[in-house]
Amino acid sequence: MKQKIIIIAVIMGMLATGCCDKDNKKIIGDDTVSRVTKQLIEKYGDPNRDRLEKGVKQMASLWEKEDGDASVFETFCLDNFIGNPTEKEQIFTRLCKHFETIYGGFNKMTVSLMEPVHEVMYTPFPVDDMFGSWSPSAHFEDDFFANKIAFYVMLNFPCYTLAEKNELGEKWSSLDWGYARMGDIFTSRVPAKIAQKIAEAEAAADNYIANYNIHMGKLVDDNQKTLFPEDMMLITHWGLRDELKAQYADAHGLVKQQMIYEVMKHIIDQSIPQEVINKNDFTWAPFKNEIYKNGEKVSHTAEPFTRYEYLLSVFKAMKAADDYTPMYPSCISRKFDQEFELSQAEVEKLFVTLLEAPQVKQVGDLISKRLGRKLQPFDIWYDGFKTRSNINPQLLDSLTQTKYPNKEMFVADLPHILVKLGFPQEKAIAICNQVRVDASRGAGHAWEAKMRDDKARLRTRIGEKGVDYKGYNIGVHEFGHNVEQTITLHDVPNYMLAGVPNTAFTEALAFVFQKKDLELLGIHGEENTMNLTTLDIFWGCYEIMGVSLVDMRVWKWMYENPNATKEQLMGKTIEIAKDVWNTYYYPVFGTKDEPILAVYSHMIASPLYLSAYPLGHLIEFQLESYYEGKNIGQETMQIFSNGRLTPQLWLKKGLHTTLSVEPLLNAVSTAVKTL
């Protein structure tokens, strides 16, 4: 998963255009706006009309009493509007340099302060969490409105709506796009204390999830028999899910999958004993939900709705910003309309179209046939369309641990991985020189750099025996993020275009890399590889789209019930998960009221991030299709250097297509017939 960057979440993703005054008291009247606009047009001419009208109006919407009276506003506008195009470009370049210093500095501080929380090389102390929850950027907005730099930027580089970007952006130059993206920086005035509370809530939830491990060697069946290695410890939900996936390659893996599923259900409904969370003092029989000490049953205490308490804390912190972002007056609208630049309704419609497609039942029947049994709920994670599903997981662990006995060997191989994917050797080395690898305390993530003299971070689990297959698989995925992060920072036309349209696009490239993991190890695919890949992407979309619907509907419910308790939130989350299951999964699986769609840890620590994954899968399919028969490295360098356009325009310019589920559905129909 791409690590959330607090600076971006606070400055870019959270903020939106609208009146700055919480009580909607207009400080600058329409008469002042009209008078100033008229004077500027007279001075700089009609060609500047659209830009200066936008700039003055947007400035007025955010001007507060402490900024000065109407005469101060008027003087500022007349003194600071840039009418000369050459001067404007020069100042834009200067601003890019300054913002790179600021964003990069904030990000570098945050990464450094979070190292003891994220990396295993540190002995953890409680004070680490305190430092990790502090946001260096929390006062950025307050400071830059106070010194009026924010108003200077708004006046000369006004914000464009999503509709305007999609309509006008096709004809914009890279410089025009840079101007527009600079206009996205200062678009509301959220108080620093609220921004800091958001950072604290997200950091606390992230820490809770990062330390939520299950000691698998302590799990026993009803006969006190252990099924997993003594030293296996898996983080929820990622590690549990990946272990469940790995068991498809084991002829006796079904009982292990069923046990993992029981563990997941106990996490969801909070009946899991606190004594087994990140501890190995007791054995635990999840089917009975009993714990034992030296073979003797002992009493236990259920987790006290902690999971949902953290979700509520994140919700309340995010909701506190609503009054200061009236154009996007909810976390939901800020996430979708602004950050994803795809509306929530548009995304939900896209997901439902796939979930209701007849191809779902066809693929479900095919999976059942391949398994030789009826589908069970956890088969939403069926992994049999991948080549590795037919390989014993212990053999894969042995292979990767032999190849990568330590972090240094993994790091040394990264340039070779890129060369195998078609990157020129010189470029491969240059990219890898911008990436730092760390052993992760959590499941693993990628954390981008925000300035060109800093490095992106790759975190994955590296054990005493080296990099096991899970760590390698996650590492390759996160390396895909790092490649995107490096190209879109160093190779884009200007700093304001750094990045991708939204996180789905970086997930798409990470997925492409991840699917090449065995090939990179020298294990080549079977016949019908393209058809199998299509079905794998499709089934992954089917799974995660349902999870995303649960996430969206839980957030809608929280907004409708802002004073709900953690107990009520848990009950509603489970109800929503079962409703989504019964609507879109029961017709395929044949069992009702399954809660499994609520297990994802993202729901707790990454507000509404989950939709990025199915969007990423769709874009991944379009990328995979585009890459077919082409050099992945060369195409990646070309496509991702276009920078941060809107999603539809990025796809149109880079892949000559638009975002849709229809190409995937058509390919699935062909694949099912072929297989």
Q: Are residues 53 and 164 in the same domain?
A: yes
Report pLDDT for 120.
83
Confidence of residue 388 (pLDDT cuts 50, 70, 90): low
521 occurs within a structural domain = no
Are residues 48 and 127 part of one domain? Answer: yes
pLDDT-derived band at 17 (thresholds 50, 70, 90) equals very low
The DSSP secondary-structure symbol of 374 reads: -
Cβ-based neighbours of 404, under 8 Å, separated by 6 or more? 410, 413, 466, 467, 472
- Residue 227: inside a domain: yes
Query: 163 versus 209: which is more confidently predicted?
Result: 209
527 has pLDDT over 90: no
What CA dihedral angle connects 89, 93, 95 and 99, to 10 degrees? 140
Write out the H or E segment, with its range, that includes residue 142. helix 140-146
Q: Is 120 helix (H, G, I), strand (E, B) or coil?
A: coil
Answer yes or no: is pLDDT of 420 > 90: yes
Contact 613, 507 (CB under 8 A): yes
Whether 199 is in a domain gets the answer no
Question: Same domain for 552 and 589?
Answer: yes
Are 432 and 485 within one domain? yes
Q: Are 534 and 652 part of one and the same domain?
A: yes
Other Cβ atoms less than 10 A from the Cβ of 198: the count is 25
Claim to verify: residue 536 and residue 662 sit in the same structural domain: yes
Q: How, if at all, do strands 435-439 and 456-460 pair? A: parallel
**Alpha-helix residue ranges (DSSP H) falling in 404-499:** 407-420, 425-432, 469-490
Judge whether 280 lies within some domain. yes
Instruction: Check residue 496 and report its DSSP letter.
Output: G
* 264 is a domain residue: yes
Q: What is the mean predicted confidence (pLDDT) over 126-139? A: 86
Do residues 154 and 267 both lie within one domain? no
Domain end marker among 158, 189, 220: 189
In the chain, % helix, strand, coil (3-state, to 5) comes to 65, 5, 30
How far apart (Å, rounded) are the C-alpha atoms in residues 606 and 6?
11
Q: How many CB atoms lie within 10 A of CB 374?
A: 10
Give me the residue label for tokens 């954390």.
447
Nearest-angstrom CA–CA distance, 346 and 337: 10
Average pLDDT, the chain: 91
The answer to whether residues 92 and 120 belong to one domain is yes
Are residues 554 and 574 both part of a single domain?
A: yes
Domain enclosing residue 52, as ranges: 6-189
For the cut 90, the answer to whether the pLDDT of residue 389 exceeds it is no
In a domain, 314, yes or no: no
Average pLDDT over residues 123-151: 89
Kindly state whether residues 19 and 161 are assigned to the same domain.
yes
Higher-scoring residue by pLDDT: 527, 420: 420
**Residue 591 and residue 494 share a domain:** no
Cβ contact 263:286 at 8 Å:
yes
Structure confidence by residue, pLDDT tens digits, 305-323: 999 999 999 999 999 999 8
Determine, yes or no, domain membership for 67: yes
When pLDDT is averaged across residues 131-141 and rounded to a whole number, the result is 85
Question: CA-CA distance, 303 to 321, in Å (whole number)?
Answer: 30
Report the domain count for the chain: 4
- Judge contact between 220 and 248, C-beta under 8 A: no
Binned at pLDDT 50, 70 and 90, residue 390 comes out as: low
Q: Is 78 inside any structural domain? A: yes
Highest mean pLDDT among 6-15, 36-45, 117-126: 36-45
Asked whether residue 616 carries a pLDDT value surpassing 90, the answer given is no
In this structure, are 24 and 127 located in the same domain? yes
On the CB side of 471, CA atoms within 13 Å amount to: 28
Q: Is the peptide bond before 237 cis (omega within 30 degrees of 0)?
A: yes
**All residues at 6 or more sequence positions from 160 whose CB lies less than 8 Å from its CB, including other chains:** 54, 168, 180, 183
